[in-house]
Amino acid sequence: MTNVVIDLFFVEMMVIIHSPVMLSEVLSFVPEHAKLIVDGTLWHGWHTIVIAEKFPEAKIIWLDIDEKMLSKAECRVKSVELRVECIQKSYADIQDILQWKKCDYILLDLGVNLEHFLATDRGFSLKGNATLDMRFDQGKTKTAEVVVNTYSPSDLKNIFVKYGDFTEKKAEELAETICRERNKHTLPTGRQGIVTTFDLKKVLGLCGLGNSAVAVIFQAIRIEVNGELANLEKFLSTFAECLNTGWRCVIMSYHSIEDRLVKQSFQQLVNTWWFALLTKKVIVPNYKEVEKNKAARSAKMRVIEKI
Domain limits, the chain: 3-114+229-306, 116-226
| pLDDT computed for residue 14 by the predictor | 36
- Rounded CA-CA distance 142/3 in Å is 43
| pLDDT computed for residue 269 by the predictor | 96
Q: How far is CA 293 from the centre of its chain?
A: 17
Q: Is 193 left (phi over 0), alpha (psi -120 to 50) or beta?
A: left
β-pairing verdict for 275-277 and 300-306: antiparallel
| Class level of CATH domain 3-114+229-306 | alpha beta
| pLDDT computed for residue 303 by the predictor | 98
| pLDDT computed for residue 12 by the predictor | 40
The DSSP 8-state label assigned to residue 110 in this structure reads: -
Per-residue pLDDT tens digits for 70-92 = 887 777 766 555 678 889 999 99
User: Element (H or E) spanning 228, and its range?
Assistant: helix 228-238
In order, the DSSP letters of 138-180 are TT-S--HHHHHHHS-HHHHHHHHHHHH---HHHHHHHHHHHHH
| Low-confidence residues in the chain, pLDDT < 70 | 1-18, 77-82, 185-191
- Rounded CA-CA distance 270/187 in Å is 54
| pLDDT computed for residue 202 by the predictor | 94
Half-sphere exposure for 276 (CA within 13 Å, toward CB): 6
| pLDDT computed for residue 188 by the predictor | 57
CB 41 within 8 A of CB 63: yes
The verdict on domain 116-226 having CATH code 3.40.50.40 is: no
